[in-house]
Amino acid sequence: MTSTVLITGANRGVGLAFAQKYAADGWRVIATARDPAGAGELVDLVCAHPTRVRLEKLDLENFAEIDSLAASFAGQPIDVLLANGALTGGPADTFGQTDYDHWARAFRINTMAQLRLAEAFAPHVVASARKVMFFVSSRKGARVFGGVVGYMSSKAALNFVVFHVAHALKDKGVIAVATHPGHVATRAANHRGALTPEQSADALMKIIARLTPTDTAKFFDPDGSELQLITRQMNPNAFGAMSAADNATLSNELAAGHKLGTKR
């Protein structure tokens, strides 16, 4: 059976390279772009592989579009949900000159939309043979650096989202991981970088190909080595820490879907 990959942000850079390489490898490719009419190279790819590549409109900032796209593929297994689309570039956001509107967009697209993707497409991934959710994050989420606070904080938060998704779907066999793509020479990086988009995509595809259920909740460098996904500051013996009994109660409440913080 032909495997299927859904790639967000597939109109340029690493996303386009993913689409081209998966199509060449014989996969069924669902390639999304915010503006399909302006995605000339994706259109060319569809023309070259009309039975395997499908171009779909998806603006990650519009959650209704995410839900609608998922509904349009109801019953279709998706082996790899490749969450590559992101808001990159933008203002430097140095201290005292932070663009808060841009920061809000960065969180909506780079963090919140990624969870919405996972929730909307979970049935499709669970129904597949490979069951992979692969999120393109960034080392910059952990970098101590002045400026670019919107992008960096949104990627740090994305890593927590991936951890959350991995544990929420672990019992269903889903493998949810994050990756750093490397310093890639894309438009957002002013075409400066250590890797070309093609080299980055090739390295990340090798990681995807060898993922197993034991890899869920991991964070990878493009060479396949592991990074720390989140800092687990949960020492049960720390002063003022939640007791084991209260922690177990909270876990049970979360599992049962109880709402928190509603008591007066």
pLDDT in tens, 10-47: 999 999 999 999 999 999 999 999 999 999 999 999 99
Asked if 80 contacts 54 with a C-beta cutoff of 8 angstroms, the reply is no
Is the per-residue pLDDT at 233 higher than 70? no
The predicted pLDDT at position 201 comes to 97
pLDDT of 263 higher than 50 = no
Task: Look at residue 262 and tell me whether its pLDDT is greater than 90.
Answer: no
Residues 6+ apart with CB under 8 A from 201: 14, 17, 18, 21
Q: Can you give the pLDDT at residue 259?
A: 58
Dump the DSSP string for 87-154.
--------TT---HHHHHHHHIIIIIHHHHHHHHHHHHHHTSSS-EEEEE--GGGG---SS-HHHHHH
- Residue 183: inside a domain, yes or no? yes
Question: Does a structural domain hold residue 100?
Answer: yes
Q: Which of 18-32, 150-164, 228-242 has the lowest mean pLDDT?
A: 228-242
Of 166, 211, 162, 201, the closest CA to residue 181 belongs to 201
Q: Tell me the pLDDT of the chain averaged across its residues.
A: 90
User: Which contiguous run of DSSP H or E holds residue 247?
Assistant: helix 244-256
Cα(191)–Cα(185) distance, integer angstroms: 4
Q: Is the pLDDT of residue 264 over 60?
A: no
Q: Cα 26 to the chain's mean position, in Å?
A: 23
Is the pLDDT confidence value at 240 over 90?
Answer: no
Residue-level pLDDT at 258: 62
Inside any domain, residue 246: no
Token duo for residue 109? 């697209």
Is 85 strand, coil or helix? coil
High-pLDDT (> 70) share of the chain, %: 91
Residue 250 lies in a domain: no
Closest CA to 193 of 211, 180, 205: 180
Domain annotation covers residue 162? yes
Residue 242 has pLDDT above 90, yes or no: no
Q: What is the pLDDT of residue 260?
A: 54
Number of domains in the chain: 1
For residue 70, pLDDT over 60 is answered with: yes
Neighbours of 87 (CB within 10 A): 20
Question: Band of the pLDDT at 82, cuts 50, 70, 90?
Answer: very high
Contact present, 66 and 81 (Cβ < 8 Å): no
Question: What is the tens place of the pLDDT at every residue in 84-117?
Answer: 999 987 788 888 999 999 999 999 999 999 999 9
pLDDT at 232 over 70: no
Range of the domain at 138: 4-234
Q: What is the pTM of this model?
A: 0.90
Whether residue 144 has pLDDT greater than 70: no
User: Are residues 35 and 59 in contact, defined by beta-carbon separation less than 8 angstroms?
Assistant: no
d(CA 141, CA 146) in angstroms, rounded, equals 12
Question: How are beta strands 226-227 and 219-220 bridged, if at all?
Answer: antiparallel
> CB–CB of 129/77 below 8 Å?
yes
Q: Which residues pair with 132 in a beta bridge?
A: 80, 175
Q: Residue 133 falls within a domain, yes or no?
A: yes
Q: Give the H/E segment covering residue 44.
A: helix 40-48
In a domain, 20, yes or no: yes
Distance separating alpha carbons of residues 176 and 118, to the nearest angstrom: 9
Q: Quick check: 141 pLDDT over 80? A: no
pLDDT band at 228 (very low <50, low <70, confident <90, very high): confident
pLDDT in tens, 172-226: 999 999 999 998 987 665 677 789 999 999 999 999 999 999 999 999 999 999 9
Domain presence at residue 124: yes
Q: What's the CATH code of the domain at 140? A: 3.40.50.720
